[in-house]
A and B are shown apart, each in its own frame.
Chain A
Amino acid sequence: MLDPLALAVAWPLLGALSITLLPRWAAHLGILAAVGATLSALGVAFAVMDSGSLTSELGGWKIPLGIGLRADGLAAAFLAMVNLVALGVSIHASVYFADSKARHHFWPLWFLLWTALNALWLARDLFNLYVTLELMGLSAAALGALSGTRESISANLRYLLLGLAGSMTYLLGVALLYVAYGSLDLVQVARSLAPGPSSAAACALMIGGLSLKAALFPLHFWLPPAHASAPAPVSAALSALVVKAAIYLVLRLWLDLFAGIANASAAMLLGLLGGSAVLWGSWQALRAERLKLLAAYSTVAQIGYLAMFLPLIAAAADERGRASLLVAWVLLALTHGLAKASFFLATGLVQKTTGHDRIAELGGAAQSLPAATFALGLAGAALIGLPPSGTFFAKWILIQAAIASGQWWWVPVIMLGTLLALGYVFRLLARAFTREPTPPHFVTSARAELSALLLAVLAMLGVGLAARPIANLLGV
């Protein structure tokens, strides 16, 4: 009997190893491993929906000696989304990197990153989390530098060093907890955690380190140059998935580990940073001169929304309010993952056609690629939060919680953030309406364009309307 949790980690790992051994077959092996990983991730999600949660111990070694894997609803939801996005990115990349030298480096690193991501959702102990974070940071920075320009190398070197600083800070917090409680298992530590200076310091260090990796304002400065200079499929993975992993861990630790000691004012601090991120990120995206920079700043803003939930979760009156905020958080995060990946992939297509991504000089490029422009439009609409995307329903619940808990000041922030997002998305889409001749076909390169388009359709129509099954998966 094969363990679905182990399979979800094993598929991408096998992919990385086999591609390293047989580089000639990289694209084929890559698609095979991607399909395998995605199927096993979806299998995990369905199994969790049936049974509540899954656990396993690798090789039969018991906790605390062995490595344990665990999938609850939250982890399974992310696992499913991330693997769908990664499948789309892989299909897209098989075209994008087809004739470039970078493909020899792309595929092994990409599957290493994928392995780290899948292991991160499933890890149940604080040290394993550190290992996955480190692996994720290393492979992500290496992927980001693949385009080989001076700009991308310096941006990604900075990304690497700051990522290291973030994970070291996290590790310091873990060490404090280990000294105090003698365990690294998430569940065991959470059970025995008591308020005190060392717990508080551990909380601050771990959340702080992860915030750096999640690019939470004002620690976001490394993100735009790194994400904007990477090759498009890599930018998609970095912006949609890697950053998401860090903010996911913030929430997970906040709710599962530090629930007893993380107080309302700490939550408010994170919320205020989130609110500032929404406004600052959206404003910078509106002013960005390059397409990919625009997308990168939009990620800064979206991470802000996710942080903004924390004070509202803390202030929720009852369990039902908390539960619906949690669902909203997941809806927003999943929609952003799908939409931002699609946005970057489509951006890459536009960039390949024109040879650059300066917004002012795009000319009729957008109009000559209808499928890519549609992907940009749908993904953009999902980022703004137009219905029926998941973002729309998430914002509805967010505003409702803000009014109900008396924290009305979030409402204008959300309104303004939405309008700014509208500005930066349509600044782009307006360029798709020019007097250029009509393109003869809707789709020109099926694999490259449809992968982006399908992700956008999922973001716009899939996540929001599937809120009920997602809530069931989360067990609320």
Chain B
Amino acid sequence: MADPYLPLAIVLSSALPGALIFFLDEEFHRLRTALNLFGAIFKLILVGWMIWGVFHGHVYLSHLELLPGLELILSADALSVLFVTLSTVLWLVTTIYAIGYLEHSPNRSRFFGFFSLCVSATVGIALSGNLLTFIVFYEILTLATYPLVAHRGTPEADRGARIYLAYTMTGGVVLLTGAVWLQTLIGPLNFTQGGLLSTAPESLHPQFIWIFFLLLAGLGVKAALVPLHGWLPQAMVAPAPVSALLHAVAVVKAGAFGIVRLVYDLYGVEFAYGLGLLDVLGAFAAATILYGSLKALSQDSLKKRLAYSTVSQVSYIALGASILGPIATIGGLVHLVHQGLMKITLFFCAGNYAETLGIHQVSEMNGVGRRLPWTTLALTVGALGMIGVPPVAGFVTKWYLGLGAADAGAYWAILLLIASSLLNAAYFLPILYRAWFRPPPPSWPEEHRFPTRLETDPALLWPPLITAVLSLGAGLFAAAPFSPLEWVRLIAAREYGP
């Protein structure tokens, strides 16, 4: 018996508080914070319930038929649970961070309203049971993140937001066209383990190739695949919690998740391989990984360096999808979670440097480890993880991707991983060296003291520490039940069959 309410409740648990928050007067701090935290914690409880249910084989399905062939479906399979859990946990942490970060800044009701809608859309993407529903939430996500990027109201914010919108909406229209075309050929596009297209007549295969490119282009914009990545560095003007959310949880991850759905649950990985589409995806992923890392090397702005690092790291997920075989699949999918944990840590830390000391550039970070030791420790964990140093989670990803590449005979991917790890080290290690081993300057650019014995505001300090511990834990306890890796093994086993 399918439970029709839980998926809907998970989406609404943040959407309704978000809608209420818009109506709150600006000075109602406590009520707003209470609504935010209530939504975040309630969602977490619901997701915990869902994990338990999916593990025990319960079926969750909310659906609304609009017209024949047009149906909105929210359902839960192992893959959606992975993404839902990631975004729910990180949303709670980011909400705490944002409450601390935006203390005393204007327009908070508007900000937190859209913040909640943004997470609702992400969760909706995760739970979408067909491509139509996916697109609905994918576009709502764009709409809900635009005001967050534009939030500051400066000319740079305006420009960044416009570029963001132009890229993502064009991508959205292309995605829509591809989806409608595909639906015209084969009917409703419900995400199905093993794919939908392998049984379609062979005469349609040339069209499938074209459609794949349309869909990939539409998804690739958000996933920041080169050459569609141009918006991401521009969107860095947003406040730090927004960047954290964009890079780790919501936008970029939604694109990558879409690519995973496209390859595994729409085309089917073996069918896509047969059409030669995986090679194309792999080529784009490889180019993106190298390009992002190379660009990151030359950025002095800390947030921009992190942004290009995102461009590069998110494509590991696409890389995993482009190599045939369960081991590479595991490596790609698990990075969905690992990259999120590590990257959100890094962005929280960057926000702390900016808020506490006024540091925005890498060149200003000399000796910052002495002033903000805990923040810098978290930064170190995140950066080492990105490079792939064991036992942080990033190592597990690279290990499985490498094994998977060897297993599939894709030795170019191993070379790519080595090159990319060297580049990661080249742009992260200098930061760590400056922070820990260089002497601090006599004064910081814009130091801000908080009324606390801690090094910075507790709402800013705890989130990066929590996510850093989670990144370590995901690596150390990778073999424990319910770890991201074990959950992803379950997904891969279902995709490839026994």
Residues of A within 8 A of B (CB): 320, 324, 327, 367, 370, 374, 381, 386-388, 392-393, 395-397, 399-400, 403-404, 411, 415, 418-419, 422, 426, 430, 433-443, 464-465, 467-468, 471
Q: How far is the CA of A436 from the CA of B157 in the complex (A)?
A: 14
Bitwise, B98-120 to A at CB < 8 A (1) or not (0) is 00000000111110000000000
Closest-by-CB residue of A relative to B179 is A396
Contacts of B69 in A (CB 8 A): 324
Question: With A324-B68, A388-B136 known to touch, is A403 a contact of B173 (CB < 8 Å)?
Answer: no
Asked whether B136 lies within 8 Å of A392 as measured between CB atoms, the reply is: yes
A-B residue pairs in contact (CB < 8 Å), sample of 24 = A324-B68, A324-B69, A327-B67, A367-B153, A387-B135, A387-B140, A395-B176, A397-B70, A399-B176, A399-B177, A400-B184, A411-B177, A415-B173, A415-B174, A419-B169, A430-B150, A430-B162, A433-B147, A433-B151, A433-B161, A437-B106, A442-B25, A467-B66, A467-B70
Are B135 and A434 touching (Cβ within 8 A)?
no
* CB pair B66 A442 closer than 8 Å: no
The answer to whether B389 has its CB under 8 Å from any CB of chain A is no
Partner of A415, one of B24, B110, B177: B177
Whether B283 is near chain A, meaning CB under 8 Å from some CB there, is no
Known A387-B139, A419-B173, A468-B67; 11 more pairs at CB < 8 Å:
A381-B143, A393-B66, A393-B67, A422-B169, A426-B162, A430-B162, A433-B153, A434-B153, A435-B152, A437-B106, A439-B26
A429 to B400, CA, bound (A): 46
CB closest chain-B residue, reference A438: B106
- Using CB atoms, name the residue of chain A closest to B109: A442
Which chain B residues lie closer than 8 Å to A403 at the CB level? 180-181, 184
A404 touches B184 (CB 8 A): yes
Please tell me if the beta carbons of B165 and A442 are within 8 angstroms of each other in the complex.
no
- State the CA gap A374–B25 with chains docked (Å): 15
Which one of A404, A433, A437 lies within 8 Å of B158 (CB-CB)?
A433
Q: How far is the CB of B179 from chain A (nearest CB, A)?
A: 8
Across-interface contacts of A471 in B (CB, < 8 A): 67
Question: Which residues of the other chain, A, contact B157 by a CB distance below 8 angstroms?
Answer: 433
Which residues in window 45-87 of B have CB below 8 A to A? 64-70, 72
Interface contacts (Cβ under 8 Å), in number, total 101
User: Residue B22 contacts which of A415, A437, A442 (CB distance < 8 angstroms)?
Assistant: A442
Judging by beta carbons under 8 Å apart, are A430 and B158 in contact? Answer: yes
- Which residues on A sit within 8 Å (CB–CB) of B72? 388, 465
User: How far is the CB of B94 from the nearest CB of chain A, in Å?
Assistant: 21
Residue B183 lies at the interface, judged by CB distance under 8 Å to chain A: yes
In the complex, how many angstroms separate the beta carbon of B160 from the nearest chain A beta carbon?
11
* CB <8 Å contact, B66 and A370: no
A116 to B212, CA, bound (A): 51
Q: Give the CA-CA distance A361 to B25 in the complex, in Å.
A: 27
Q: Are B180 and A442 in contact (CB under 8 A)?
A: no
**Those 4 A-B pairs whose CB atoms lie nearest each other, nearest first:** A467-B66, A387-B136, A433-B150, A438-B106
Q: Is the CB of A397 within 8 A of B158?
A: no
Residue interface bits B128-158, CB-to-A below 8 A is 1, else 0: 0000100110011001001100111110011
Q: How far is the CA of A171 from the CA of B378 in the complex (A)?
A: 79
Chain B interface size band reads 35 or more
Decide if the interface of chain A is mainly helix, strand, loop or mixed: helix
Chain B, residue nearest A324 (CB)? B67
Contact residues in B for A324 (Cβ distance below 8 Å):
67-69
- The answer to the question of B363 belonging to the interface, with a C-beta cut-off of 8 Å to chain A, is no
Residues of chain A lying within 8 A (CB to CB) of residue B70: 393, 396-397, 467
Instruction: Decide: B107 and A419 in contact? CB cutoff 8 A.
Output: no
Complex interface: chain A residues within 8 A of B169 (CB): 419, 422
**Contact A442 to B158, CB < 8 A, known contacts A327-B67, A464-B66, A468-B65:** no
Interchain nearest-CB distance for A422 vs B (Å):
5
Interface mask (B164-204 → A, CB under 8 Å = 1, otherwise 0): 01000110011011001101100000000000000000000
Q: Cα distance A386–B138 when bound, in Å?
A: 10
Do A396 and B150 touch across chains, with their CB atoms under 8 A apart? no
- Known interface pairs A370-B110, A471-B67; A396-B180 also in contact (CB < 8 Å): yes
Cβ–Cβ < 8 Å partners of A370 in chain B: 22, 110
Min C-beta distance of B219 to chain A, whole Å: 16
Residue in contact with A440 in the complex, picked from B25, B147, B173, CB distance below 8 Å: B25
Q: How far apart sit A370 and B161, CA to CA, in the bound complex (Å)?
A: 19
* Bound-state Cα–Cα, A397 to B169, Å: 19
The chain B residue sitting closest to A434, CB to CB, is B153
Verify A468–B66 contact, CB threshold 8 A: yes
Q: Is the CB of B132 within 8 A of A396?
A: yes
Chain A nearest Cβ from B429, distance in angstroms: 38
Docked CA distance A297–B290 (Å): 46
Name the residue in A387, A393, A418, A434 with the highest tally of chain B Cβ atoms < 10 Å from its Cβ: A387
What residue of chain A has the Cβ atom nearest to residue B66's Cβ? Answer: A467
Knowing A327-B67, A400-B183, A440-B25, say if A435 contacts B153 (CB, 8 Å): yes
Complex Cα gap A464–B133 (Å): 13
In the complex, what distance in Å separates the CA atom of A324 from the CA atom of B110?
A: 38
Q: Which residue of A lies closest to B172 (CB)?
A: A386
A468–B106 Cα distance when bound, in Å, is 42
- Residues in B whose Cβ lies below 8 Å from that of A388: 72, 136, 140
Would you give the shortest CB distance from B181 to chain A, in whole angstroms? 6
Distance from A416 Cβ to chain B, minimum over Cβ atoms (Å): 9
- Contacting pair A396 B151 (CB below 8 A): no
Chain A residues in 8 Å Cβ range of B147:
433
A121, B143: Cα distance in complex, Å: 36
A15 to B196, CA, bound (A): 59
Instruction: Select from chain B the residue with minimum beta-carbon distance to A374.
Output: B22
For the complex, give the distance between the alpha carbons of A465 and B110 in Å: 25
Nearest-neighbor residue (CB-CB) of B180 within chain A: A399
Residues of A within 8 A of B132 (CB): 396
- Rounded to whole Å, the gap between the CB of A365 and the closest CB of chain B is 14
Q: Are A465 and B64 in contact (CB under 8 A)?
A: yes
Cα distance, A123 to B68, chains bound together (Å): 31
Taking the closest CB of chain A, its distance from the CB of B112, in whole angstroms, is 13
Contact A438 B180 (CB under 8 A): no
Quote the shortest CB–CB distance from B412 to chain A (angstroms): 36
Q: When the two chains form their complex, are residues A438 and B26 in contact, meaning their CB atoms are under 8 A apart?
A: yes
Name the residue in A395, A415, A433, A471 with the highest tally of chain B Cβ atoms < 10 Å from its Cβ: A433
Whether the Cβ atoms of A442 and B23 lie closer than 8 Å is yes
> In the complex, what residues of B have CB within 8 A of residue A367's CB?
153
- Closest B-chain residue to A430, C-beta based? B158
Q: A400: which B residues are within 8 A, CB to CB?
A: 180, 183-184
Chain B residue numbers with a CB within 8 Å of A465 are 64, 66, 72
Question: Bound state CA distance, A215 and B147, in angstroms?
Answer: 35
Which residues from chain A contact B110 at a C-beta distance below 8 Å? 370
How far is it, in angstroms, between the C-alpha of A465 and the C-alpha of B22 when the chains are bound?
Answer: 23
In the complex the two chains form, is B165's CB within 8 Å of A426's CB? Answer: yes
Closest to B27 in A: A440
CB neighbours (8 Å) of B23 from chain A are 442-443
Interface residue from B27, B140, B170, B183 paired with A419 (Cβ < 8 Å): B170
Once bound together, how far apart are the Cα atoms of A433 and B170, in whole Å?
22
Contacts of B136 in A (CB 8 A): 387-388, 392
Binary interface profile of B, 453-464, with partner A (CB < 8 Å = 1, else 0)? 000000000000
Shortest CB distance B263–A (Å) = 23
Tell me the nearest residue of chain A to B183, going by C-beta.
A400
Residues of B with C-beta under 8 A to A393:
66-67, 70
B445 to chain A, nearest CB (A): 22
| B183 surroundings in chain A (CB, below 8 A) | 400
The answer on a CB contact under 8 Å between A422 and B165 is yes
The residue on B at minimum CB distance from A431 is: B158
A393 to B66 Cα, complex, angstroms: 9
List B contacts of A320 (CB < 8 A). 68
Interface string of B311-352 (1 = CB under 8 A from A): 000000000000000000000000000000000000000000
Report the Cα distance A429→B423, complex, angstroms: 41
Which residues of A sit under 8 angstroms from B154, Cβ to Cβ?
A: 435
- How far does the Cβ of B271 sit from chain A's closest Cβ, in whole Å? 22
Q: Whole-angstrom distance between the alpha carbons of A325 and B67 in the complex?
A: 11
Q: Which residues of B contact A419 (CB under 8 A)?
A: 169-170, 173
A419 to B162, CA, bound (A): 13
Which partner residue on chain B sits nearest A437 by CB separation? B106
